Chain A
Amino acid sequence: MLAAIGAIIGRDLRLALRQGLDSLLAVVFFVLACVLFPFGVGPAPETLARIAAGVLWVAALLAALLSLERLFQADYEDGSLDLLALGPAPLPAIAAAKIAAHWLTTSVPLIAAAPVLALILNLPPAAFSSLVLALVLGTPTLSLIGGVGAALVLGARRGGVLLALLVLPLYIPVLIFGVAAVGASQIGLAVQPHLFMLAALLLVALVLAPWAAGAALRQALD
């Protein structure tokens, strides 16, 4: 089963590499969304420093959402999902593998780009490490929750908008603690409690989301 999971992750990573631009689009969106804010609220450095954490998190969240629709869609349409379901790995494992590949291809570049954008948005350098740590702990949860949503809307009319409606409310806890972690480091408070909450959310999502996504995939394949 582990071999099957590894094979799925490897296949998705190779696909992402060869299609190049597709997986970079999420990062480009992330950068553009962040760059819009200095024009929207004005370039005053202290204003930007105050909103930087929130802007980065919201943009990261929307970028993750943007790439979710394709998570199972392509495989569902060309029938590879049926073949995968016939293979040795159970559906929750397939879902977990696809979600892991999604995180590696969209969120990792996003995390890499975040410090640069934080610099542009005038986030104090002291908060950089907590921003990156919070993103590392928070974005896998986003991918896991999003994976459930993406599996649920397979075959739906206007799946993209529906996906936003399903997934964004569930993203709120991650957003709250992610921003709180960066905010705490900005005013010199302890960052750990918020990081622990993010880690707890990740563990809960790690246990529950693959099962839910697997159940949703089963409904879609029936």
Chain B
Amino acid sequence: MRALVNPTFVMRWSTRAVPWLGGLTLLLVAAGLYLALIASPPDYQQGDSVRIMYVHVPAAWMALFCYTCMAAASAAGLVWRSPIADLAAQATAPVGAAFTFIALVTGSLWGKPMWGTWWVWDARLTSVLILQFLYFGFIALSHAFDDPARGQRAAAVLALVGFVNVPIIKFSVDWWSTLHQPASVVRLDGPSIHPSMLAPLLVMAIAFTCYYVWLLLVRLQSEILNGKIRALRLRQAHG
């Protein structure tokens, strides 16, 4: 735990991990895309448009996963005053916002042929839209102050407040009878989705997760280096 908050340790460890993670991500994305677009069967009702699922569902999972990571890092940053945790939350926010955006856009593209509309105001879609605004709010708030540390701490409180939305998104399809279909992979009685579609979905999900960790480490490194440059400049300016 102590080692994790030490920038030098994070730097050394992540420099070693980044190339491996990058290679793994590319490999998994290639395999996942092959499985999803070529090897898996078309749906008996939806035809080929079901292939949107292999991007849409992992992106939506990642949107929630990134927010959870961001909230956890924010909590750690507030409790232990750890700069690395603050930086991790900062580095996660744009990635999570992008995943949310991808989930919304692919969902809209999938909704047009299947539901006959780009957008409906159902509980799942609305709560994910709120998630998107929470990400935007987090990013805007963390850059709104002249003192970056103050912005990071304010944004951390916001991330924790906004966390109430995460269980709402997860359970929105069960609590309200919605157009969006209920969970079909993570269920108590096992996945209701056929293995030939589950396999590419899971490969894509792991690929997306690796991509997130890869980006997170790269962004963390650049943030740490940025901090060092700022400190050096300050020291230069003060002579």
Query: Which residues in B have their C-beta under 8 angstroms from that of A204?
Result: 164
Residue of B nearest to A176 (CB): B126
CA distance A159 to B145 in the complex (A): 10
Q: Which residues of A contact B140 (CB under 8 A)?
A: 162, 165
B162 CB contact (under 8 Å) in A158, A170, A222 = A170
B137 within 8 A of A: yes
Q: A212-B160, A215-B78 are in contact. Are A169 and B130 (CB under 8 A)?
A: yes
**B160 surroundings in chain A (CB, below 8 A):** 212
The answer, among A152, A155, A159, A168, for a CB contact under 8 Å with B158, is A152
Q: List the A residue with the shortest CB-CB distance to B154.
A: A152
Chain A residue with the shortest CB-CB distance to B131: A169
Bound Cα distance A169, B134 (Å): 7
Q: Does A153 contact B (CB under 8 A)?
A: yes
A215 to B79, CA, bound (A): 11
**CB-CB contacts below 8 Å: B59-88 with A:** 78
Query: Which A residues are CB-close (under 8 A) to B162?
Result: 170
Residue B144 lies at the interface, judged by CB distance under 8 Å to chain A: yes
Contacts of B118 in A (CB 8 A): none
State the Cβ distance, A149 to closest chain B Cβ, in Å.
8
Q: Would you call the interface of chain B mostly helix, strand, loop, or mixed?
A: helix
- Which A165-179 residues have a C-beta within 8 angstroms of B? 165-166, 168-170, 172
**How distant is B172 from chain A, measured CB to nearest CB, in Å?**
11
Does B133 lie at the interface of the complex (its beta carbon under 8 Å from any beta carbon of A)?
A: yes
Which residue from chain B places its CB closest to the CB of A167 in the assembled complex? B137
Residue of A whose beta carbon sits closest to that of B121: A176
Distance to closest chain A CB from B216 (angstroms): 24
Considering only residues 107-156 of chain B, those with a C-beta below 8 Å from chain A are 126, 129-130, 133-134, 136-137, 140-141, 144-146, 150-151, 153-154
B166: chain A residues at CB < 8 Å are none
Size of the chain B interface, CB-CB below 8 angstroms: 23
CB of B212, distance to nearest CB on chain A (Å): 23
A155 touches B141 (CB 8 A): no
Q: A148-B161, A219-B154 are in contact. Are A157 and B137 (CB under 8 A)?
A: no
Contact B157 A169 (CB under 8 A): no
Candidates A156, A158, A170, A212; contact of B157 at CB < 8 Å: A212
* Chain B residues within 8 Å of A170, by CB: 130, 161-162
Provide the bound-state CA to CA distance between A219 and B141, in Å. Answer: 13
Residues of A188-222 at the interface with B, using a CB-CB cut-off of 8 Å, are: 204, 208, 212, 215-216, 219-220, 222
Q: Write out the residue numbers on chain B whose beta carbons fall within 8 Å of the beta carbon of A168.
A: 133
Q: A169 to B151, alpha carbons, bound, how many Å?
A: 20
Sorted from nearest, which 4 A-B pairs have the closest CB atoms? A169-B133, A156-B144, A219-B153, A166-B137
B residues whose Cβ falls under 8 Å from a Cβ of A: 78, 126, 129-130, 133-134, 136-137, 140-141, 144-146, 150-151, 153-154, 157-158, 160-162, 164
A residues with a Cβ closer than 8 A to B are: 148, 152-153, 155-159, 162, 165-166, 168-170, 172, 204, 208, 212, 215-216, 219-220, 222
Could you list 23 A-B pairs, sorted by A, with CB under 8 Å? A148-B157, A148-B161, A152-B141, A152-B154, A152-B157, A152-B158, A153-B141, A153-B154, A156-B151, A156-B154, A157-B146, A166-B141, A169-B137, A170-B130, A208-B161, A208-B164, A212-B157, A212-B161, A219-B150, A219-B154, A219-B157, A222-B150, A222-B153
